[in-house]
Amino acid sequence: MAMKIRLSRGGSKKRPYYSIVAADSRMPRDGRFIEKIGTYNPLLAKDSEERVTMDVERVKYWLDQGALPTDRVSRFLEAAGVVAATARQNPKKAAPGKKALERAAEKAAKIEKAAEAAAAAAAAPAEAPAEEATAE
């Protein structure tokens, strides 16, 4: 039997509440499960201890039996220190989008134009006092 440790949604509309369950991977998300091993309440603050609760011994048992945690549950397990953290690869995550690149180019052009204007303004007053000094 292909086992998963995953979230099963409960709660009302726009008020999600999840149970962390060990279930057969072929069963529906909110369908039949074998054992409830924890809860997850996303509405609580991220630093709240009650946001994620798990029976760590049962989680370890199911992992030893070959159950695979889903991505979200594996993140919970990593935070709890049950499973070693895995490196995730999303190389495009930090890259800015097309519009952000355009805005940055426009901003750089404005800064360059302002710098040229400031240099021209700085050069012009330097010449003016010298002319006044010779006129006297």
Q: Walk along the chain (136 residues) and give the pLDDT tens digit of each residue.
A: 789 999 999 999 999 999 999 999 898 888 889 999 999 999 999 888 899 999 999 999 999 999 999 999 999 999 888 888 888 787 778 788 899 999 999 999 999 998 888 888 887 765 555 555 555 5
Q: Are 49 and 38 in contact (CB under 8 A)?
A: no
- Angstrom distance (rounded) from CA 75 to CA 81: 10
Q: Which two tokens stand for residue 44?
A: 């609580």
Question: What pLDDT sits at residue 29?
Answer: 87
Q: How far apart are CA 15 and CA 117, in angstroms?
A: 56
Exposed (0-12), middle (13-18) or buried (19+): which is 28, by Cβ within 10 Å?
exposed
Sole residue written with tokens 């008020």: 15
Q: State the pLDDT at residue 131.
A: 54
What's the CATH number for 3-80?
3.30.1320.10
Quick one: pLDDT at residue 34? 93
Residue spans per domain, the chain: 3-80, 95-136
Give the pLDDT confidence score for residue 120 in this predicted structure: 83
Q: How far apart, in whole angstroms, are the C-alpha atoms of residue 103 and residue 101?
A: 5
Half-sphere exposure of 28 (CA within 13 A, CB side): 4
Q: What is the pTM of this model?
A: 0.64
Structure token pair of residue 104: 């940055």
